[in-house]
Amino acid sequence: MPERERELQTLNELKQAEIASVVTRGLNPNVPMKDSGIPWIGQIPAHWTMMRIKNLLEESKVKSIDGHEQSLSLSKSAGVIPYEEKENRTMQSASLVGAKVVQRGDVVFNRFKARLFAISNYDGVVSPDYAVYKGKGRANLNYLVSLFGTEMYRAAFDRKASGIGDGFSRLYTADLFSMYAIFPPIEEQNEIVKYIVSKTNKIDSMIEALNAEIDFLTEYKQRLISDIVTGQLNVQDETA
């Protein structure tokens, strides 16, 4: 079991490393590089640019009037999902009036410690604590979300966030919009997104198979322990 869990961790790390590489360096390993002008970003391909995030996204502040929309949540593993599909559900507000309206294709952002970005495949509403952004048509939003999910950007968001400590600091829209995104030509953004989907689908299939194996071994172990405790399996007889 520990060996399988280490393999699972390795696959997840490989997936994140592959995404980070292509969204910051592109698909050509031999491309000429230049200084981005931002110390924490370092070098980028010579034909790429840096673009302020405020020029790529705009915040949507539309709120629910009657609260009749579908309630949505943001999950690290699954992205934007209906609230009823969330595994660890907490107390939800009795009314969704005033919740932020999300349309399919919008970017949903958890401002707090997790700093999660995801594109919604659903219409609905999210907590007022979340931010909802629409693209300005200059970027592939899937590329931006992948870029913002890298450790480099997550660390930069943490440094930019303000608040009273871990778990309570938040990244406000004004601070997010003041930052720069690495910005390849749109054709390359599209190619990078296609590559990420193809590559991560293969890794995700391996992760799914490993998770299934881990679940089976866990269930088998629990059943074995239960059989021993209840006397259905005689350990002495099995080892004689």
Q: What pLDDT was estimated at residue 2?
A: 67
Cα 143 to Cα 62: distance, rounded to the nearest angstrom: 25
Q: What pLDDT was estimated at residue 205?
A: 65
Tokens of 4: 């399988």
pLDDT single digits (tens) 180-235: 999 999 999 999 999 999 887 676 666 666 666 666 666 766 766 766 767 666 65
Its sign, for the CA torsion 158, 161, 165, 170, is negative
The amino acid present at 66, given as its one-letter code, is: D
pLDDT single digits (tens) 162-174: 866 655 788 999 9
pLDDT single digits (tens) 11-62: 678 888 999 999 999 999 999 999 999 999 999 999 999 999 999 999 999 9
Helix, strand, coil proportions of the chain in percent (round to 5)?
40, 20, 35
133: how many CB neighbours lie within 10 A of its CB? 22
Q: What pLDDT was estimated at residue 240?
A: 47
pLDDT single digits (tens) 68-125: 999 999 988 789 999 888 766 565 666 899 999 999 999 999 988 778 999 999 999 9
CB 136 within 8 A of CB 177: no
Contacts of 89 (CB under 8 A, 6+ apart): 83
Which carries the bigger pLDDT value, residue 144 or residue 222? 144
Domain regions of the chain by residue span = 1-48+184-231, 52-88+95-139+161-183
Q: What pLDDT was estimated at residue 58?
A: 98
- The phi and psi torsions of 62 (rounded to 5 degrees) equal -65, 130
CB 69 within 8 A of CB 123: yes
Query: Which superfamily is assigned to 1-48+184-231 in CATH?
Result: Bipartite methylase S protein (1.10.287.1120)
196: how many CB neighbours lie within 10 A of its CB? 18
Q: Could you tell me which of 99, 103, 108, 104 has the C-alpha nearest to residue 65?
A: 99
Please say if the pLDDT value at position 237 is more than 60. no
